[in-house]
């Protein structure tokens, strides 16, 4: 975190391209644009940018009361899913020159360009502007120099022929970019793939193969989901149904939703000659959250095992290859804290509408289970896997 002295220097400099001043949170769109621009760090300072909330444009104190609710609202800039890839920010309350302010500290992104609502924003002097083509090229070149996660690295031997370009152009692009941006960009497919971090040099990334590759398992053997329906409580009991959901991730998620609907049992309460539907044994939406979380956070790089969904007569188990990652611990798991082993995959599922808010999948599943009358989910953390166990209502 920047010190108060460092923040004061930024606050007092009206020409700084590292500081934005806002009197209030009345226009959250402008605050998100500024966060996006600081994350892109077009001037390449390699230093955090800061949004001061509670300060007028001229640097005078706006007299805004900084409450916890306001800080929480600002922190949601990270989790709302409209600034992608997810920016690294810290939100705090400070008193500077006797003025109470909220400070959003934004770290430069390791894999620009970052977009807000499908547009790239950058800082030009003390202003936030939409990036031009040359700005975007600079940001992409900078990203290639960084130490990239597995889903942003090139898949050796892969070519554009390995990708479903029709799906990328017809379905994914309209979900990832603002309509007017897409219409005015007369670009090749290669340029569009590179702009969205799906191309590294001339080769598709592992992430592009996982999300919309024709045969992802040709390059990533564990890129599928195994479903088992067991008539009993142990893996050795008779198997009622067994499926492998393979292909691009968008298809796996869609097929999974259908499979969950088919397997959830909804009871009927017959009283007084009427048939009244009551709560299901498992809420489908909770299971969706848990399995999507497993698909996003699993280890695709060194594990050839699939995500496994085992449906027993007394529980549902979801096994995700790969232990906890980054800043995640057993203590903060499911608290809203999040880190991403596969940021491109997380971004893609958010763009496609399968993730509404980052860091809220587990809390949402817990809430839905409680509302349906199920016990809380149980989690077992192993060195090479995370197991979620859900029991019926």
Q: How many other C-beta atoms lie within 10 A of the C-beta of residue 135? A: 19
- Claim to verify: residue 64 and residue 81 sit in the same structural domain: yes
What pLDDT does residue 187 have?
86
Within 8 A by CB and 6+ apart from 215, the residues are 162, 247
- Claim to verify: residue 205 and residue 188 sit in the same structural domain: yes
Cα dist. 202→101, 140, 153, 338 in Å?
A: 46, 13, 11, 31
- Claim to verify: residue 195 and residue 313 sit in the same structural domain: no
- Claim to verify: residue 161 and residue 112 sit in the same structural domain: no
Residue 274 falls inside a structural domain: yes
Where does a domain end: 218, 253, 273?
Answer: 218
Where does a domain end: 218, 250, 266?
Answer: 218
Residue 85 falls inside a structural domain: yes
The CATH number that applies at residue 14 is 3.30.950.30
- Claim to verify: residue 182 and residue 210 sit in the same structural domain: yes
* CA atoms of 60 and 57, how far apart (whole Å): 7
- Claim to verify: residue 266 and residue 382 sit in the same structural domain: yes
- Claim to verify: residue 237 and residue 386 sit in the same structural domain: yes
The CATH number that applies at residue 348 is 3.30.565.60
Q: What does the pLDDT profile of the chain (393 residues) look like in tens digits?
A: 899 999 999 999 987 899 999 999 999 999 999 999 999 999 999 999 999 999 999 889 999 999 999 999 999 998 888 999 989 999 999 999 999 999 999 999 988 999 999 999 999 999 999 999 889 988 887 776 556 889 999 999 999 999 999 999 999 999 999 888 888 777 899 999 999 999 988 899 999 999 999 999 999 999 999 999 999 999 999 999 999 999 999 999 999 999 999 999 765 445 455 555 567 999 999 999 999 999 999 999 999 999 999 999 999 999 999 988 878 888 888 777 777 889 999 999 999 999 888 878 899 999 999 999 999 999 999 989 999 999 999
Torsions phi, psi for 316 (to 5 deg): -120, 130
What pLDDT does residue 278 have?
65
For strand 378-381 and strand 266-271, is the pairing parallel, antiparallel, or unpaired?
unpaired
* CA atoms of 130 and 283, how far apart (whole Å): 42
Residue 141 falls inside a structural domain: no
Where does a domain end: 218, 240, 257?
Answer: 218
Q: Domain range for residue 32? A: 4-130
- Claim to verify: residue 229 and residue 109 sit in the same structural domain: no
- Claim to verify: residue 259 and residue 203 sit in the same structural domain: no
β partners of residue 53 = 22, 102
What pLDDT does residue 380 have?
95
- Claim to verify: residue 196 and residue 339 sit in the same structural domain: no
Residue 143 falls inside a structural domain: no
Residue 139 falls inside a structural domain: no
Residue 136 falls inside a structural domain: no
For strand 119-124 and strand 89-96, is the pairing parallel, antiparallel, or unpaired?
unpaired
Within 8 A by CB and 6+ apart from 194, the residues are 140
Half-sphere exposure of 97 (CA within 13 A, CB side): 14
Overall number of domains in the chain: 3
- Claim to verify: residue 37 and residue 93 sit in the same structural domain: yes
What pLDDT does residue 16 have?
86
Residue 137 falls inside a structural domain: no
Residue 142 falls inside a structural domain: no
What pLDDT does residue 332 have?
83
Which among 38, 74, 90, 103 has a CA at the least distance from the CA of 327?
90
Half-sphere exposure of 353 (CA within 13 A, CB side): 6
Give me the residue label for tokens 């397997």.
Answer: 263
- Claim to verify: residue 12 and residue 89 sit in the same structural domain: yes
Helix, strand, coil: what percent of the chain each, to 5? 35, 25, 40
* CA atoms of 206 and 352, how far apart (whole Å): 18
* CA atoms of 173 and 251, how far apart (whole Å): 16
- 249-263 and 284-297 helices, crossing angle to 10°: 150
């Amino acid at each position: 975190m920047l010190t108060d002295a460092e923040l004061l220097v930024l606050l007092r400099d009206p020409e700084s391209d590292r500081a934005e001043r806002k009197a209030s949170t009345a226009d959250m769109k402008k605050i998100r644009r500024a966060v996006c621009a600081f994350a892109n760090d077009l001037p390449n300072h390699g230093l955090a940018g800061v949004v001061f909330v509670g300060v007028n444009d001229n640097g005078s104190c706006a007299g805004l009361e900084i409450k916890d609710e306001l800080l929480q609202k600002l922190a949601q800039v990270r989790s709302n899913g409209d600034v992608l890839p997810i920016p690294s920010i810290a939100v705090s309350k400070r008193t500077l020159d006797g003025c109470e302010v909220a400070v959003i500290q934004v770290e430069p992104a390791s894999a620009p360009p970052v977009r807000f609502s499908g547009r790239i924003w950058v800082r030009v002097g003390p202003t936030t502007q939409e990036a031009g083509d040359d700005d975007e090229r600079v940001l992409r070149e900078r990203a290639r120099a960084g130490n990239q996660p597995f889903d942003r690295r090139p898949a050796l031997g892969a070519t554009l022929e390995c990708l479903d370009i029709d799906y990328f152009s017809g379905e994914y692009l309209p979900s990832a970019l603002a309509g007017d941006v897409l219409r005015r960009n007369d670009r090749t497919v290669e340029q569009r793939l590179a702009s969205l971090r799906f191309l590294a040099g001339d080769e598709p990334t592992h992430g592009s193969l996982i999300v919309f590759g024709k045969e992802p398992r040709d390059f990533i053997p564990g890129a599928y989901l195994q479903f088992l329906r067991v008539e009993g409580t142990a893996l050795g009991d008779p198997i009622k149904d067994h499926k492998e959901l393979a292909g691009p991730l968008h298809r796996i998620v869609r097929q999974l939703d259908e499979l969950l609907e088919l397997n959830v049992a909804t009871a009927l309460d017959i009283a007084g000659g009427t048939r009244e539907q009551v709560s299901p044994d498992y809420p489908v939406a909770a299971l969706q959250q848990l399995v999507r979380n497993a698909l996003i956070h699993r280890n695709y790089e060194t594990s050839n095992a699939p995500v496994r969904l085992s449906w027993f007569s007394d529980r549902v188990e979801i096994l995700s290859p790969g232990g906890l990652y980054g800043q995640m611990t057993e203590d903060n798991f499911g608290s809203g804290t999040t880190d991403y082993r596969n940021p491109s995959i997380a971004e893609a599922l958010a763009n496609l509408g399968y993730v509404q808010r980052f860091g809220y999948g587990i809390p949402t599943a817990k809430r839905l289970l409680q509302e349906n009358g199920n016990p809380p989910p149980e989690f077992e953390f192993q060195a090479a896997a995370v197991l979620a166990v859900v029991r019926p209502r």
